A and B are shown apart, each in its own frame.
Chain A
Amino acid sequence: MDLEAAKVIGAGLAAIGVGTAAIGVGIVFGSFLESALRNPAAADSQQGRLFIGFAAAELLGLIAFAVAMIILYAV
């Protein structure tokens, strides 16, 4: 296979990780809302944890994006 073609395919495969991170972020906010609606009184105190979970899930997607960019532009 041509190196250029392999690069583009690799970057595309790395982009799958961004989509899975989207699922993760969705789960984080979805479960927060689900439980916040069950117990709205406790919701505000958990907002910090919500964003920690969001940051952790998002970071992994961003790393996948960084890998795609490295493959496309830096390798």
Chain B
Amino acid sequence: MAAETKIDPMHQFQIDPLVGGLEGPFAFTNSALWMLIVLAAIWLFMMGGMKRQLVPGRWQMAVEGVTGFITSMLATNVGPEGRKYVPWVFTVFMFVLIANLMGMMPFGVVPGVHAFTVTSQFTVTGILAVISFAIVLIVGFWKHGFHFFSLFIPHGTPKPLLPLIFLIELLSFMVRPFSLALRLFVAMIAGHILMKVFGSFIVSGLNADGVMGPAISLLSFAFIIGVSALELLVCAIQAYVFALLTSLYINDAVNLH
């Protein structure tokens, strides 16, 4: 037997048009569909909890927990002025978190349904990072004018080192949107490839002859349960890190140093 099962771990990231083709200005792809599903999930979650009851129920407590978490994150990192930026940081946190989790859900057990991780596309995470970066730039120049450039000169820099430090700080500032987007995108890609590779080990182990095949299958299955738990943790951590770094960058723009 030993059927050659070649399972391509990159296939899950492929964008397929659901209606019509990829040509034309608007193409409804699986990526767009899953973004809408994520939005619907967030909308349901928020609508269920925004009843403003005096004595909150469980659902309202869950929603208030998340909003309170973001509000306190901005309060500690930015200060009292951070409240203005709660909507954006909350949006990005919820979108990234739910998109990450949606990609991990075992929708594949339903025939014909393929879960698609929206955040495994560099364009999506890139746009989120660019919006965060744009907010930092706009707020920075709006509040401080050209004084914003003093962000690139730390206090107490010796005069001879000024040009070099300025260049390095400018570079590290400009690289921020890339690092922000790349971190999320690669973390998601890496986790999903790992899962698919070990998933393919299970399948090819079952197809193989002898005792070793099923044994390897069983080992891979045990491993993949652990990896799934780790991936759920990574989903939450990446969303948290994205929101945390966004609030830190906003702090730079609001308070300079």
Contact = CB atoms under 8 A, between A and B. Distances in A.
Interface of A: 48, 51-52, 54-55, 58-59, 62-63, 65-66, 69, 73
B187 A62 contact: yes
A59 B187 CA distance: 9
Interface string B234-253: 00010011001100100000
Interface in B166-205: 179, 182-183, 186-187, 189-190
Nearest to B247: A48
Interface string B59-78: 00000000000000100110
Contact of A55 (B73, B76, B183, B186): B183
The secondary structure that dominates the A interface is helix
A62 B194 CA distance: 13
A52 B186 contact: no
Given A48-B77, A51-B237, A51-B240, A62 B245 contact: no
A58 B76 CA distance: 24
Nearest to A18: B190
Given A55-B244, A58-B187, A62-B186, 10 more contacts: A52-B248, A54-B241, A58-B183, A59-B183, A62-B187, A63-B186, A65-B186, A66-B186, A69-B189, A73-B10
Contacts, number: 35
A52 B10 CA distance: 30
Interface string B1-13: 0000000001000
A59 B190 CA distance: 12
B85 to A, nearest CB: 16
B245 A52 contact: yes
B182 to A, nearest CB: 7
B182 A59 contact: yes
B237 A62 contact: no
